[in-house]
Chain A
């Protein structure tokens, strides 16, 4: 059993008072307090075409389990983004099923059920053909 800790810290002065979120979780298997034990390892890839690419296949996790996926746009350009969606055919906002856009430096960490179907593949589309890089990692049972 491995121990994987993930901590988020968010600070904001959008409101007239400062806002702060701090939370740590230990990634556990479904319905237990035992830690996740498998990982895809950290992946890194450079993209240079505006083409939809599946970065995480539904076969990399298990349905009804407590998988987690971390993805980060390692660039710094806030004008360009990776469009992230569920479904191998997702390619733009409004297609099934859009998640969101990771601009330069943005990251995400989500739970993922990995239902055995391409509807649960995780797909990205770069916003430009200029080189952009992404890193991602899957944590699974």
Chain B
């Protein structure tokens, strides 16, 4: 059984005066509802140009068995210009803007086959890195007879 551990720490000494912020959390990522570790992973690095418009970083559950499962997404914008950001959405709903140097990590339910993770570069080309950790992924049929 594979073990995947995701940790976060958030800190600030001056966000709230007199109250130092320090949050730490660690989770071992398991298959849906189980104590068995995830066994599917995809990682990549690419460039996203403004001209690319909206692209699907990861398709929603193509097969019914892939949907509504425990999956997680990491995405990082490696751009260096403050005005270059990746607009991240789920299908046609914009979730947020990932500015230069920002990263995000979230669960991803793949609720249906129209729940792709959508990314679009704004303000300039955005190099990005991503990783997907999933419970299930059914390969789509090949056109080979």
Contacts and interface: CB of A to CB of B under 8 A. Distances in A.
B21 A8 contact: no
7 contacts: A8-B8, A10-B6, A25-B103, A66-B97, A86-B93, A103-B27, A111-B95
A136 to B, nearest CB: 11
Nearest to A104: B27
B91 interface: yes
A79 interface: yes
Interface stretch (B28-36, B48-56, B136-144): B28-36
A103 B8 contact: no
Given A14-B38, A14-B133, A79-B33, A101 B28 contact: no
Interface residues of B, number: 69
A41 interface: yes
Nearest to A100: B107
Interface in B22-74: 23, 25-30, 32-35, 37-41, 43, 67-68, 70-72, 74
Contact of A103 (B33, B43, B91, B97): B33
Contacts of B3: 12-13
A14 B41 contact: yes
Max chain A CB contacts within 10 Å: which of B14, B40, B71, B103?
B103
Interface of A: 2-15, 19, 21, 23, 25-28, 30-33, 36-37, 39, 41-42, 64-68, 70, 72, 78-79, 81, 83-84, 86-87, 93-103, 105-113, 115, 119-120, 137
A39 B15 contact: yes
Given A26-B101, A99-B107, A10 B67 contact: no
A79 B31 CA distance: 10
B107 A86 contact: no
Interface in B62-102: 67-68, 70-72, 74, 76, 82-83, 85, 88, 90-91, 93-99, 101-102
Contact of B95 (A2, A72, A110): A110
Contact of B34 (A6, A65, A78, A83): A78
B106 A109 contact: yes
Given A94-B115, A111-B98, 8 more contacts: A2-B12, A5-B10, A12-B3, A12-B4, A30-B99, A78-B30, A101-B68, A111-B97
